[in-house]
Amino acid sequence: MTDDDLLRYSRHLLLDEIGIEGQQRLLDARALVIGAGGLGSPVALYLASAGVGQITLVDHDTVSLTNLQRQIAHDMASLDRLKVESAAARMAALNPGVRVRALPQRADEALLDLEVPGADVVIDCTDNFATRHRVNAACVRHGRPLVSGAAIGFDGQISVYDSRGRHGPCYACLFPPESGFEDAACSTMGVFAPLVGIVGSLQAAEALKLLAGVGEPLAGRLLMLDGRRMQFSEIAMHRDASCSVCGTA
């Protein structure tokens, strides 16, 4: 850790739970962020500001004017630019010490099987069930912890799915792929602008905790937010032995 690092990350170093050792773990860590939109924007910016050594961004989409209401990694100069390139530029401006890989691709099974094994944590910031299930399945296959968030309207949710433990559920335990859940798109349902910032910041916090080895992750717990009342609630989750992804039955 350089003198500049000691100054830049001094507020982390003052925390007994992180300190020099925890910050060094962040500097050595590799994070994979799927999605560079509403949730991915605060996740990417906070991981970069906190000094996560290598961050890989995956998103095939480009920036449109409707994104700017909530996707804070982008601005007017980013219109029609690839989201991963726009976000990577903001991250580099914020912290040139982090290494950012921008992959303008869809998160299909082939890409996930290539990228997930090299990540210490995977953060799912996508907005559709099909991609979430692909990401979850890849994390189960390769034994990587997954931080998953969602936001629509005024409602948000977040959890950590870590199937490496005997009892830890995966995303499919709670939302089985065969159940036929329907996506609710922001383009038709709308989304309260700060909601994605709140959920994305919580995702970043959970990812940083996992990487630094501090605190208690949200594994086995689903945290839900009612943004109208600004009220959080939580439910416990358990592994489904008959789960088609991680089950043992």
pLDDT digit string (tens) for 207-249?
Answer: 999 999 999 999 999 999 999 999 999 999 999 989 999 986 4
What is the rounded distance in angstroms from the CA atom of residue 236 to the CA atom of residue 233? 10
Q: What is the mean pLDDT of residues 1-18?
A: 95
Find, among 63, 3, 1, 7, the residue nearest to 37 by Cα: 63
Find, among 177, 176, 118, 120, the residue nearest to 145 by Cα: 120
- CA dihedral sign of residues 164, 148, 8, 29: positive
Q: For the segment 29-52, what is each residue's pLDDT rounded down to a tens digit?
A: 999 999 999 999 999 999 999 999
Extract the tokens encoding 123. 């953060």
Cβ burial, residue 24 (10 Å; 0-12/13-18/19+) = middle
Q: Provide the pLDDT for residue 111.
A: 98
50, part of any domain = yes
- pLDDT, averaged across the chain: 94
Q: 């939302």: which residue's tokens?
A: 175
Give the total number of structural domains in the chain: 1
Q: Provide the pLDDT for residue 110.
A: 97
246, part of any domain = no
173 is catalytic: no
11, part of any domain = no
Least confident of 4-8, 23-27, 88-92, 127-131: 127-131
245, part of any domain = no
- Strand extents, DSSP E, the chain: 30-34, 54-58, 99-103, 121-124, 146-152, 155-161, 221-226, 231-236
82, part of any domain = yes
Instruction: Check 125, 139, 170, 186 and give the catalytic one.
Output: 186
Residue 140 pLDDT > 70 = yes
247, part of any domain = no
pLDDT greater at residue 101 or residue 165: 101
Q: What is the mean pLDDT of residues 115-131?
A: 96
Q: How far is CA 39 from the centre of its chain?
A: 7
CATH code of the domain containing 69: 3.40.50.720
- Residues near 10 by beta carbon (within 8 Å), at least 6 away in sequence: none
Task: Give the pLDDT band of residue 177 (cuts 50, 70, 90).
Answer: confident
- Per the structure, the complete domain to which residue 77 belongs is given by 16-236
What pTM does this model have? Answer: 0.95
Find, among 189, 202, 72, the residue nearest to 149 by Cα: 202
Extract the tokens encoding 175. 């939302």
Extract the tokens encoding 11. 């507020």
Extract the tokens encoding 231. 């009220």
184, part of any domain = yes
How big is the chain by its Cα radius of gyration, in Å? 17
69, part of any domain = yes
